[in-house]
Amino acid sequence: MIGLHPLIRRFAGRPIAVRLAVSSVFWSFAILLIAGLILSTLYRDNTERSFDQRLLVYANTLASNLVAPGDPDRDLGPVGDPRFELPLSGWYWQVARPNAQPGEIRSSKSLFGGLLPSLAVSSEDRFGQIRRGYGKAPDERNLRIIERDIDLGEDGRYIIRVAGPADEIATDVRRFLLSLTITFALLGLALGLTTLLQIRFGLRPLANLRSALGTIRRGEAERIAGEYPRDISPLASELNLLLDTNREILERARTQVGNLAHALKTPLSIITNEAENAPEEVAARIREQAALMRDQVNYYLDRARAAALAGTLGTLTEVEPVIAGLARTFAKIYREKDLEIELAIPRDLRFRGEKQDLEEMAGNLIDNAAKWASAKVVVAVEIIREDADRPRFRLLIDDDGPGLPETARAEMLKRGRRLDETKPGSGLGLSIVSDLASLYRGQLTLDASPMGGLRAVLELPGDRG
């Protein structure tokens, strides 16, 4: 089991279908291999026994001729197979007394004066047994040999050996192994196909559950619908309960954020109104601090709202209509500059988040670009294809303004930093965009624009419709 741990860890993150398929293929191959080894061994044993039976028939014929009335040392005559008459045919017989000299040994013509090897281990276990084994012929061919003993009483003892070519056994076994391999290969292929069908059928409910979750993520449904097997149905129910709980928490967060905004803005408005009755210097200072407090309240309320809503399942926003609406708005705001705002946004692109968050982020960036542009702002989209399960896109906002030195770009993302105090604004816009983007696991970066000004790159989670 220790050796299997690296292999198990390698497949820890693989899909269930792959793990089941690999496991099935491995065990099917192991079982078929073991079965093949067992069947080939059994077939070889059976083939050897069958071949031995043929040799034993010839040995019994020789024994019958030997015990027939007459001189035991006479010519035993033909055995019944013409191959024993052909020199070095591979079929041989030999009859001799124990410890007989070469001239006293009778043999088939096919042996051509040669001798067959003995199968007896020792002289003590020689008589009373039928021995089987392999040996070498005079021409070095492999032989299958049967050896048996005959006791003729007063006429003495004899050893009968009959041999046949072992190539016939090997050829027969090879043919069987070829047929067995083809059969098992077809069987393995059939098992593999049926296993894949079983896996596909068995995992279909999980695929349906994943598809249902995908429809929720894309905003096409609010709950997991459909019937599932008893072992998966509790999971679907728990996920639906989790979705309902998540919606309730988000709704409460929206309500509380709204209540807090109202509770804070009302006293600020009262303070600002009361400042009108104060001396001008004091009133200006109160209005300045109240405006700063309002900006700070809005900033942190936006962060709290975005933190509650970012990444909400099922929340999708069409990007092109939002950007187009912002472009029309800022073109009117900066009409005295005769500003051109060019858009290159795919119509099927969607942002996985709240519409007002996209408006907040894109609006701040387009506003900043329009504020500093000389005559033109370009808003384009770049699709990121690295992760198919979590697609993302980059919103590129370019202007032809004076640009920003590289050393100052990182400073501009900090809260309250402004490039030019003569331009209107609180300095919170870019920091709000950066914070909102990070809540959606995105990011905002500043770079030099090909148009000569500043390029804002906003990376966000997206989807294609």
Does a structural domain hold residue 85?
yes
Residue pLDDT, tens place only, 341-355: 999 998 888 888 888
pLDDT for 414 equals 62
- What residues contact 418, with CB distance under 8 A and at least 6 apart? 425, 427
Query: Where is 45: in which H helix or E strand?
Result: helix 16-67
Confidence of residue 303 (pLDDT cuts 50, 70, 90): low
Does a structural domain hold residue 5?
no
CB 433 within 8 A of CB 451: no
Residue pLDDT, tens place only, 149-167: 888 777 778 888 999 999 9
CA distances from 217 to 148, 150, 232, 317, 392 (A): 84, 91, 20, 12, 14
Residue pLDDT, tens place only, 14-44: 777 788 888 888 888 899 999 999 999 999 9
* CA pair distance 246, 251, nearest whole angstrom: 9
* CA pair distance 264, 258, nearest whole angstrom: 10
CA distances from 279 to 272, 291, 339, 416 (A): 13, 18, 41, 28
Neighbours of 105 (CB within 10 A): 17
Same domain flag for 434 and 393: yes
- What residues contact 444, with CB distance under 8 A and at least 6 apart? 361, 365, 413, 430, 433, 434, 437, 456, 457, 458, 459
Does a structural domain hold residue 213?
no
With H, G, I as helix, E, B as strand and everything else as coil, classify residue 30. helix
pLDDT at 448 > cutoff 50? yes
With H, G, I as helix, E, B as strand and everything else as coil, classify residue 128. coil
* CA pair distance 175, 169, nearest whole angstrom: 10
Does a structural domain hold residue 10?
no
Read off the amino acid at residue 465: G
Q: How many domains does the chain have?
A: 3
E strands present in 261-327? 317-318
Same domain flag for 75 and 159: yes
Sign of the torsion formed by the C-alpha atoms of 368, 371, 374 and 377: positive
Residue pLDDT, tens place only, 231-277: 888 888 888 888 888 777 777 776 776 677 667 767 777 777 766 77
CA distances from 9 to 3, 14, 128, 194, 431 (A): 11, 10, 62, 27, 43
pLDDT for 1 equals 44
CATH number assigned to the domain comprising residue 400: 3.30.565.10
Task: Look up residue 420 and give its DSSP letter.
Answer: -
Task: Look up residue 423 and give its DSSP letter.
Answer: S
Same domain flag for 335 and 403: yes
Same domain flag for 444 and 355: yes
CB 105 within 8 A of CB 94: yes
pLDDT for 119 equals 84
User: Where in the sequence is the domain holding 90, given as residue range(s)?
Assistant: 69-168
pLDDT for 181 equals 92
pLDDT for 179 equals 93
Same domain flag for 361 and 415: yes
Confidence of residue 173 (pLDDT cuts 50, 70, 90): very high
Same domain flag for 73 and 95: yes
Same domain flag for 324 and 458: yes
DSSP 338-407: T-EEEEE--TTEEESS-HHHHHHHHHHHHHHHHHH-SSEEEEEEEEE-S-SSS-EEEEEEEE-S----HH
End position of a domain, from candidates 125, 153, 168:
168
pLDDT for 50 equals 93
With H, G, I as helix, E, B as strand and everything else as coil, classify residue 46. helix
With H, G, I as helix, E, B as strand and everything else as coil, classify residue 134. strand
CATH number assigned to the domain comprising residue 119: 3.30.450
Same domain flag for 85 and 156: yes
Same domain flag for 328 and 457: yes
B/e letters for 256-294, b = 16+ CB within 10 Å, e = fewer, are ebeeebeebeeeeeeebeebeeeeeeeeeebeeebeebb
Task: Calculate Rg over the CA atoms of the chain.
Answer: 47
Query: Where is 326: in which H helix or E strand?
Result: helix 319-333
* CA pair distance 115, 102, nearest whole angstrom: 8
Same domain flag for 151 and 263: no
